[in-house]
Structure 1
Amino acid sequence: MNSTGTANSPTQLLHGDNPFRVNPDADLLHGVPIDVPGWSETMFFHIWSPAQEVGVFIHCGRWPDDPDLWWAQVIAMLPDGRLLVDRSWGRAPDDRGPATGNLRVTCVEPLRAWRLTFDGAGEKTDLGRMATGASGAGPARAFAFDIDIEAAAPVWDMHGALGIHDLSWAALHHTQGFRAVGSLRAGAESWDIQGVAARDHSSGPRDVGRLGGLHFFVVVFPDTGRVANGLVNWRVDGTVDHRVFTVFGPAGAETGGDVHCTGLDDFRTHEPRQISLRMTTEDGPFELEGERLHGYTLTFLAPNENINGVARDTEHDALVITQSTVRVTAPDGDVGYGVFERDYRPSQLPSPEER
């Protein structure tokens, strides 16, 4: 398959419970090479409980100057658009997953199950305030969670299986959809978590100064177990490097190169909030129509530093990351929930057209 993806790209159907032949050891922490400049390793988790309208975001990675030191961005998404935002640091006790003083990520069973625990506090904020500067050190509120996630679909391997090896932000990239159960507490409030989750795991040289932007989504359909993944990646000059998607369903894992997503008008509001994720499968168009439910905004500084909030005064035209929890509906009426990430440099906006 052509890794750049075009409207005429054929699709490929793979079968089995590990269709991309992912080595289970790849889920564990990777050994740090001593001779690869800019090498990095990161993990991402996004959990959403539809009935309770709450969720959790985790993004953690190795600190470039000390790869055994992990940083973690942890955000609680609470009802009515409220956010609690934390940034913490620590060292992992083993290879089962990252850890900081507040956070522990544990691979319970490679390719299948993870446990996520947090006990700390976060700045009380919302989307509007996150757009005005860095977040995470203001007046805070205690929060904690204990969440188990179990695979709803196999691991999606963007590199070994799909032939994509030249991204500026990773040499290996895995993504997976899950079902989630657990609990979330914020101050005197508490919620049972019963919903969906997404994770990714990347490693390799990382320099986001060469990245113009990207669209990325993982959507899990709890009633059917269907999972849709997609990526559109472009350079600083706007040239699209890659388009790729995989839909996991009863027939197998169908991968193609024709995927387009709603663009971004304003990082401060995540507009437009009505979104489309359009893919072309062997059977024809597979279009997910949806809406934004919640979200948060981050900044990615070159070559590789992650900030909560929008830190525009730190680097000229820094890459702004908007991550939205979304609810989508498939053509057959199946309803899914997940994360839709739209990353743009402010000089590119407004850009609401599809990419």
Structure 2
Amino acid sequence: MTTAVLDANLPIDSNVPMWSQTRWNGCWNAEANVGIFVHAGCYRPDPRLWWVHQIVFLPEGKLVVQNYWTRNSSDAGVKTELLDLEMTATGWRSTYDGVGQLTSTAELIRAARGASAPWSRVSWDVTATDRTPAWQMYSSVDHQQDFATKLHMQQVFNTSGTLMFDGVEYPLEGIGFKDHSAGARTWESWNGHRFLIGTMPDYTIHAVTIVDAEGKTGTPFGSILSLDGGRSEVSVFDAEPLLDLSSDPVEKTIVVTGTQGEPTTLKAEVLHAFPITITNDNENFSGVDWDAPGNPLVMFECMVRLTDKNGNVGFAHFERSARRDSLR
């Protein structure tokens, strides 16, 4: 299934305070336990300068991370000397050829990483094609969201390609994701959130719940998109909050309900995970800086295997956040 739409970068709007633009693209191969996570966006004081932090999932819980800055020469994605992330009419394609810091989930919980030893050679070439159409957030909510006042879109894909790590090749056949946000981007009103994007055999899921600064959990929103073209709006999204990074349960229960269906209870088994940090100044990096000023948001990014009551299996990216000072 394709939707012939090129997801172009939006022009900078200098009339909008705290204007920003971010992209996240990733993929996952369950058999090899490998994947990529590329997160990039505008530097708030100078939106023509982009930050990038990218993570490679590897077997045995290994991760390769890198944080860097670049001028972005792409009109539809992110393009640097080493990274090319291109939006296409049928999805996206990315190549990378460089190095990153070899680390682990435990090390990223202890400190920010991505600019220290040991270094490892890594490259990839991955192509993603539409699995279901893009979900536009403002087709599901009618009030402005502080993290993306102009645009927020997401999509699930089928992927193919290869990942190279220190001379060993891994397949990237599997599932892929993307989101694209633009507009004013602020975090002061957030105390945390839960987010799920993934696919089961017959449908894909986009579900979000935001916890405001007073600790109140907002009304969930999102869509369930069936592979035959159907759509149901999310009316229930229950998932446990982020409380403890180092002893977060490996198995979780997630309930997602669409307006046209009964509650679906999914067992979520965490396959890989790492934290990232986002400050109120929209400074993004891999790992947790426990000494950074203020009380930034810490997001725990998890690749999960989903299983429903009938034994059907799917895979998803499950993200939760909380303020750093509330975490154990």
Matching of residue 267 in structure 1 with residue 248 in structure 2: no
1:151-300 equivalence runs, <5 A: 151-159=130-138, 161-171=139-149, 172-221=151-200, 224-249=201-226, 250=228, 252-269=230-247, 271-281=248-258, 282-300=260-278
- Report the Cα offset of residue 180 of structure 1: 0.8
Q: Distance in 1 between matches of 2:51 and 2:180?
A: 15
Kindly provide the amino acid, as one letter, of the partner of residue 147 in structure 1.
Answer: V
Computed over aligned residues only, the root mean square deviation of the Cα atoms, in angstroms, reads: 1.8
- Closer, same or farther in 2 for the Cα pair 1:41/1:133, shift >3 Å? same
Please state whether the residue corresponding to 1:166 is helix, strand or coil.
coil
Matching of residue 337 in structure 1 with residue 315 in structure 2: yes
1:318 corresponds to: 296
Please state whether the residue corresponding to 2:78 is helix, strand or coil.
coil
Matching of residue 74 in structure 1 with residue 51 in structure 2: no
Structure 1, unpaired ranges of 5+: 1-15, 351-355
Is the CA contact (8 Å cut-off) linking 2:130 and 2:158 kept in structure 1? yes
Q: Distance in 2 between matches of 1:92 and 1:265?
A: 36
- Report the Cα offset of residue 332 of structure 1: 3.4
Please state whether the residue corresponding to 1:80 is helix, strand or coil.
helix
Is the CA contact (8 Å cut-off) linking 1:85 and 1:124 kept in structure 2? yes
Q: Distance in 2 between matches of 1:245 and 1:96?
A: 25
1:95 corresponds to: 75
- Report the Cα offset of residue 253 of structure 1: 1.1
- Report the Cα offset of residue 137 of structure 1: 1.0
1:141 to 120, 132, 143: 120
Higher relative contact order (CA 8 A, sep 6+): 1
Kindly provide the amino acid, as one letter, of the partner of residue 125 in structure 1.
Answer: T
Deviates more, 1:340-349 or 1:79-88: 340-349
**Scaled by the length of structure 2, what TM-score is found?**
0.93
Is the CA contact (8 Å cut-off) linking 2:206 and 2:222 kept in structure 1? yes
Is the CA contact (8 Å cut-off) linking 1:70 and 1:100 kept in structure 2? no
Please state whether the residue corresponding to 2:110 is helix, strand or coil.
coil
The sequence identity of aligned pairs, in percent, is 28
Please state whether the residue corresponding to 2:79 is helix, strand or coil.
coil
Kindly provide the amino acid, as one letter, of the partner of residue 229 in structure 1.
Answer: H
- Closer, same or farther in 2 for the Cα pair 1:254/1:70, shift >3 Å? same
Kindly provide the amino acid, as one letter, of the partner of residue 28 in structure 1.
Answer: A
- Report the Cα offset of residue 283 of structure 1: 2.9
2:43 to 63, 81, 86: 63
Q: Distance in 2 between matches of 1:303 and 1:184?
A: 33
- Closer, same or farther in 2 for the Cα pair 1:225/1:88, shift >3 Å? farther
Is the CA contact (8 Å cut-off) linking 2:73 and 2:80 kept in structure 1? no
Kindly provide the amino acid, as one letter, of the partner of residue 57 in structure 1.
Answer: F
Please state whether the residue corresponding to 2:60 is helix, strand or coil.
helix
- Report the Cα offset of residue 118 of structure 1: 1.0
Kindly provide the amino acid, as one letter, of the partner of residue 78 in structure 2.
Answer: P
- Report the Cα offset of residue 166 of structure 1: 2.5
1:11 corresponds to: none
1:307 corresponds to: 285
2:27 corresponds to: 47
Please state whether the residue corresponding to 1:177 is helix, strand or coil.
strand
Is the CA contact (8 Å cut-off) linking 1:197 and 1:338 kept in structure 2? no
Is the CA contact (8 Å cut-off) linking 2:297 and 2:323 kept in structure 1? yes
Is the CA contact (8 Å cut-off) linking 2:20 and 2:44 kept in structure 1? yes
Is the CA contact (8 Å cut-off) linking 1:320 and 1:346 kept in structure 2? yes
Q: Distance in 2 between matches of 1:150 and 1:115?
A: 9
Structure 2, unpaired ranges of 5+: none
